[in-house]
Chain A
Amino acid sequence: DTGVSQNPRHKITKRGQNVTFRCDPISEHNRLYWYRQTLGQGPEFLTYFQNEAQLEKSRLLSDRFSAERPKGSFSTLEIQRTEQGDSAMYLCASSFRGSADGTQYFGPGTRLLVL
């Protein structure tokens, strides 16, 4: 399977704990995106990378959130001191910079539940 993969698929944690999610994009894609989706809503943009450079961050990405893509391949999204409001589906997507139309390929998501 050469699609976007995300791990873990589900995460249950207690309030105040730190969590880290991983995304492996399609191998030839140099752009990687993180979105957050709450129940009954569409995905909301969090941040995106071109290669290893983080080029844009949403104001939704508070200082408790940090994302990295150290070698321009996989990416991690860490949430520190989780809060119940962080419960959501975290979606990763990738695209190829040469594609000018913005079509993105999504992974299956990581569903986070903060108790």
Chain B
Amino acid sequence: SQQGEEDPQALSIQEGENATMNCSYKTSINNLQWYRQNSGRGLVHLILIRSNEREKHSGRLRVTLDTSKKSSSLLITASRAADTASYFCATFGFGNEKLTFGTGTRLTIIP
């Protein structure tokens, strides 16, 4: 079953703008990860944030985590056409080895 919801389900922005997508989850976590999936292809790991971290940066990506609200957000700055993809959050829990994915946000960057 899915861990939680992502919001929005779909987002269209102009190239150069920032894109923010949110993820909520249900259970306690070891870490939360964000993955990107280009149309009909496999997933690519983007960034990981541990449960004791509140914010993390990687290039144009910024991820935040609020464990009290069981939510995370992914910000992509200065978007590019190549950022067009679906983005999924995935939680990694304690005592199990699987990732539990959200429902995804489909991001479209308009050139």
Residues of A within 8 A of B (CB): 4, 31, 33, 35, 40-45, 48, 50, 55-56, 89, 91, 93, 101-109, 111
Contact = CB atoms under 8 A, between A and B. Distances in A.
7 pairs of A and B residues whose beta carbons are closest in the complex: A42-B101, A102-B92, A106-B42, A45-B98, A106-B43, A108-B42, A42-B88
Contact of A43 (B30, B43, B44, B48): B43
24 contacts: A31-B97, A33-B98, A35-B101, A40-B103, A41-B2, A41-B103, A41-B104, A42-B88, A42-B101, A42-B102, A42-B104, A43-B101, A44-B1, A91-B42, A101-B31, A101-B48, A101-B50, A102-B33, A102-B99, A103-B33, A105-B45, A106-B42, A106-B43, A108-B42
Nearest to A107: B42
Interface residues of B, number: 26
A111 B40 CA distance: 8
